[in-house]
Structures are given as structure tokens and as C-alpha cells.
Amino acid sequence: MKRREVLGLTAGMAMLAPVAVAAQPAKVPVIGVLVVGLPGSDSFWRLFRDAMRKLGYIDGQSVRYEFRSDQGQLGRLPELAAELVRLKVDVIVPWFTPAALAAKQATRDIPIVMATSGDPLAAGLVASLARPGGNVTGMSGMVSDLAGKCVELSRELLPQARRVAALANVPDPFSKAFLDKIQMAGRATGMPIEPVLINNPADLEPAFAALEKGPPGTVIVQPSLPTRRVAELALAHRIPAMSPARTFAEAGGLMSYAPDEAELYRQAANIVVKVLKGAKPADLPVEQPTKFELVLNLKTAKALGLTIPTPLFQRADDVIE
């Protein structure tokens, strides 16, 4: 080949090189989603993807998801978290405290954005809410604080109640913070608190049978318990029950006081986008929900023979009939 031809070919390749680089498709971020298999996980999954879509991240186009659920078996969470790490996802979004803890134990490098966690500080997920440190940030559902609020609401619902039972899910590390806040609220209101420790679903039936034989009262349910089954047992044993999770009232529980889910997951999606754009979780404060909903299930109230006090009814954000 003549020297002139070589120079011409080289120049032509140089002109084409930027075009070839520009034609390379942009890397699509992969988000690993890890959930505790409860009824509310379906609602979270739908609302979170909707929020991401509104921010320009469309499933299958500008983002890809790897979804994992423990199917109601908390013991599976570590292996599922490890699987997401092996897939080298760009960020992990855990739903509920046990999932967040499993993700943190699986990686110190991949960013973790909690969609919700009962009390990330008490659970040891972050060093502080203002400056999380490490690779974890996201949303605190303030569930422990809301559990304490449920004690106040139970007094308002049943002034004649002589106790509040707190149904705690022992395998969930959040159970201690959950019980602590309820005990604190009990002392503040002068209401005796009876902790009921649930180690596995088989404990639920005998627990409610024992509660039915005791003095009249209400039950506050930790959200990571199987809410539908708990709601069924509470109704069968005619015990008014409530939870800091909307899904409990939707599943047949009497009442819930919880963050507005759509707003909560919208905030979580915003944090995920910041991380995808290069922000470090260590520098992003853990955020807290700003909107809360009181939901009453009138069908359950009628089945229990209860009349909801007018002031409480008027404050309800949603009524299930």
C-alpha cells in the first residue's frame, strides 16, 4: 500500500472513531430490590417503580431491576442479598429492617438505599441519621415512634381498656426498638403494656387464645408479622388490633397509623436517583416521612361490636367500609 493511501486510511479511521464511541449504548443501571415477603411488599414494588418511572427511569429501558423476596422466610434474606452482590447491581433497595440488615451484611461497597426501615439507628444500620457513614442511607419509616403513637390511639379508641398487648416479631432485630417505644408510651399514659413475643407463626394462635382470657384491652402488631393472619386471629378472638402499617387495616385489622406509602417511596426513589448520579450514601442524611395516615376498618369495627369515637372517626384519613 502506498504511503498516501495509508495516510488517507488513518485519517478516515480517526474521523470515524468518535462516531463509533458515540454509538456505544449507555450503561443501564441495575437496581437490586430485596423485600420481606409480606402483603405490603406488592404495594411497595408498584409504588416504587411508579416513582422511579416519573423520575425518568423506565423498567427495561433506562433501568433494570433484580427483584428478590424471601417469600415470608426471613432466614433466606442473607442468601438473596449475597446473590444481588454477585450480580454486581449498582444499588440495593431493601424493604423492611431485616432486608436492610441482610444487605448491609452482604456488602460494604454497593450503595444501599432503604425504602423503609423501622429505626435504622437503633438497628445499627447507620452511625447517625444526619451523617449515616458507610454505604447505607434511605428512609426511616419511624415505625418505633408510630408504635408509641398507637398506644395513645388505643386509649382514645377504648378508654375502658385495662392493658395494651404488644405483639413483637422476635426474629426481626427491630422488635426491641418496637417494644421500647411502646413501653415508653405506656409509662407516659399510665397504660400497662404486656409484651407478647412471637418466635414463629405457630406462636400466634396460642398467643391470641391467652390474650382473650385476660383483662380487656387492645393489641399493637409489629408490621413484619404476617399481617393477614394476625388480623384474622384478632377478629376471631374479638380483640381490637392496630399496627403502624397501612396494610394491616387493609388486611382486616381494626386500625393503622402509618406513613403515607406513596410519599414514602417517592422520597426513597429520589435518594436512589441521587446515588445513581454519583452521590455517596455516607453523605446523604436518612430521611423521615412527612405525611401520615390514620386508617379505620369499619367492617372490622362492626364485627367486633365497636363504635369508633366521633373525634377519632373525624381525624381518619381513610375509612375502609
Q: 102-137 burial, b for 16+ CB within 10 Å, e for fewer?
A: bbbebbeebbbbbbbbbbbbbbebbeeeeebeebbb
CB proximity list for 201: less than 8 A, separation 6 or greater: 226, 229
Chain region(s) in the chain for CATH 3.40.50.2300: 30-141+260-290, 143-258+293-320
How many degrees, rounded to 5, is the angle at CA 141 between CA 73 and CA 50?
80
The CATH architecture to which 143-258+293-320 belongs is: 3-Layer(aba) Sandwich (3.40)
CATH code of 30-141+260-290, in short, is 3.40.50.2300
How many degrees, rounded to 5, is the angle at CA 243 between CA 239 and CA 244?
165
Residue 294's closest CA among 263, 275, 318, 276? 318
Question: Distance (Å, rounded) from C-alpha 31 to C-alpha 126?
Answer: 21
Q: What is the pLDDT along the chain (321 residues), one digit of tens a residue?
A: 444 444 444 445 444 445 444 445 678 999 999 999 988 899 999 999 999 999 999 999 999 999 999 998 989 999 999 999 999 999 999 999 999 999 999 999 999 999 999 889 988 999 999 999 999 999 998 777 898 899 999 999 998 888 999 999 999 888 998 999 999 999 998 889 999 999 999 999 999 999 999 888 999 999 999 999 999 999 999 999 999 999 999 999 999 999 999 999 999 999 999 999 999 999 999 999 999 999 999 999 999 999 999 999 999 999 999
